[in-house]
């Protein structure tokens, strides 16, 4: 995140678009707050299930102390908002404070129906609404749980662990404590809630057009390049490499390597094109968190 102040070269267009951008962010955060609150009050609380992160800790303490959940969520997230203010910027901290404060307010004041008493449905759909809420808030530039802030800051100093690894480790501790406080069955259902929320969160953030990077090594690289650009309408990058083989990594002749980025909906078509041209082609694919420019974004302009 770039937290540097805008310069005078931004132009009048940027100033005109800023209010619209903040209004859109506010809409995402508000939708996220109500979705997460509905997941908590409409599903989890009545069955004594918990979520992960700071919210999960707050729910555990609320079950033990009978203190208001909304107040605990607000109190336990305040230190993380302070960390975000110092390390990640004022706008991010302000949006997150609004999101977390809004979640606490909605939990305290808005009545939600208890949707179902079926434990499996409660765990799955509670996770669906919570994951959607967190994802929508993130699209608005905020978080609804301070765990993400803490994990991001810690990961900067512990390079061996990613943010996702730190969050997972913390949640393992939380769900371990839930076994002692809520019982094994409730803790296991709570883990199911967490996994459902994580999957929905990923979908909300990446969408159906999640990008996949594909590297293709083939003796027919030029034909594959033409198929990708002409039939799929995607851009490619060509770079040279040498074949390596044998126990000592002997180098063979040079060949062109094809690299492209497609959505997962386009991936089966790409693989079919490559298979038709060269069934022996070496294809490596991997998830891309985001992509900008090139032909990736041009279709959205039409």
Task: Provide the domain limits for residue 267.
Answer: 211-301
Locate all alpha helices (DSSP H) within 45-162, ordered by sequence.
Answer: 45-47, 53-65, 69-87, 90-109, 119-139, 147-155
Q: What pLDDT is recorded for position 34? A: 96
In this structure, the answer to whether residues 192 and 246 fall within a common structural domain is: no
Query: Are both 218 and 72 inside the same structural domain?
Result: no
The mean pLDDT value of the chain amounts to 81
Region 36-60 average pLDDT: 92
Token digits of residue 42: 């409409």
* 241 in a structural domain: yes
Give the confidence band of 18 by pLDDT, cuts at 50, 70, 90.
Answer: low
What local confidence, expressed as pLDDT, does residue 124 receive? 95
| Range from 129-138, 242-251, 284-293 carrying the lowest mean pLDDT | 242-251
pLDDT value at residue 263: 75
**What are the tens digits of pLDDT across the range 230-259?**
888 888 888 887 766 655 555 567 778 889
Identify the domain boundary among 206, 236, 261: 206
253 and 149 in a single domain? The answer is no
Domain boundary residue among 165, 187, 206? 206
- Angle (deg, nearest 10), helices 119-139 and 11-39: 170
Domain count, the chain: 2
The whole-number pLDDT of residue 208 equals 58
50 occurs within a structural domain: yes
Q: Is the same domain home to 48 and 154?
A: yes
Residue 49 covered by a domain: yes
Residues 69-78 pLDDT 10s: 999 999 999 9
Average pLDDT over residues 123-140: 93
pLDDT grade, residue 28 (50/70/90)? very high
Q: Is the dihedral of CA 223, 228, 233, 234 positive or negative?
A: negative
Q: What is the pLDDT averaged over residues 208-230?
A: 84
Q: Is the pLDDT of residue 228 over 90?
A: no
Better-scored residue on pLDDT, 163 or 282: 282
5 located within any domain: no
Q: What is the pLDDT of residues 90-109, one digit of tens each?
A: 888 898 999 999 999 999 99
Give residue 10's pLDDT band: very low, low, confident or very high (50, 70, 90).
very low
- Which SS3 state, helix, strand or coil, does residue 104 take? helix
* C-alpha dihedral sign at 89, 144, 67, 168: negative
**Domain boundary, last residue among 206, 234, 258:** 206
Q: What is the DSSP letter of 285?
A: E
Check which CATH number belongs to the domain holding 295 and give it.
Answer: 3.30.70.120
- 260 and 141 fall within a common domain: no
| Both structure tokens of 248 | 């000592």
């Amino acid at each position: 995140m770039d937290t540097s102040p805008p310069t005078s070269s931004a132009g009048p267009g940027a100033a005109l678009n800023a209010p619209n951008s903040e209004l859109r962010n506010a809409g995402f955060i508000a939708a996220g707050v109500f979705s997460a609150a509905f997941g908590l009050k409409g599903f989890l609380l009545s069955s004594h299930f918990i979520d992960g992160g700071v919210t999960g800790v707050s729910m555990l303490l609320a079950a033990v102390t009978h203190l208001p959940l909304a107040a605990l969520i607000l109190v336990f997230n305040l230190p993380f908002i302070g960390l975000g203010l110092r390390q990640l910027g004022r706008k991010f901290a302000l949006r997150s404070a609004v999101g977390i404060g809004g979640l606490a307010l909605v939990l305290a004041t808005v009545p939600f129906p208890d949707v179902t008493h079926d434990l499996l449905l409660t765990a799955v759909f509670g996770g669906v609404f919570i994951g959607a809420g967190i994802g929508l808030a993130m699209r608005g530039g905020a978080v609804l749980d301070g765990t993400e802030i803490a994990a991001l800051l810690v990961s900067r100093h512990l390079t061996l662990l990613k943010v996702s690894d730190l969050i997972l480790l913390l949640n393992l501790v939380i769900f371990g404590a839930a076994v002692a406080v809520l019982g094994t069955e409730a803790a296991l259902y709570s883990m199911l809630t967490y996994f459902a929320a994580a999957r929905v969160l990923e979908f909300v953030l990446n969408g159906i057009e999640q990008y996949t990077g594909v590297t293709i090594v083939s003796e027919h690289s030029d034909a594959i390049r033409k198929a990708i650009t002409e039939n799929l309408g995607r851009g490619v990058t060509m770079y040279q490499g040498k074949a390596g083989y044998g126990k000592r990594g002997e180098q063979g002749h040079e060949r062109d390597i094809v690299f492209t980025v497609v959505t997962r909906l386009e991936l089966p078509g790409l693989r079919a094109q490559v298979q038709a041209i060269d069934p022996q082609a070496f294809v490596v694919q991997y998830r891309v968190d985001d992509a900008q420019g090139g032909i990736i974004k041009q279709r959205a302009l039409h």
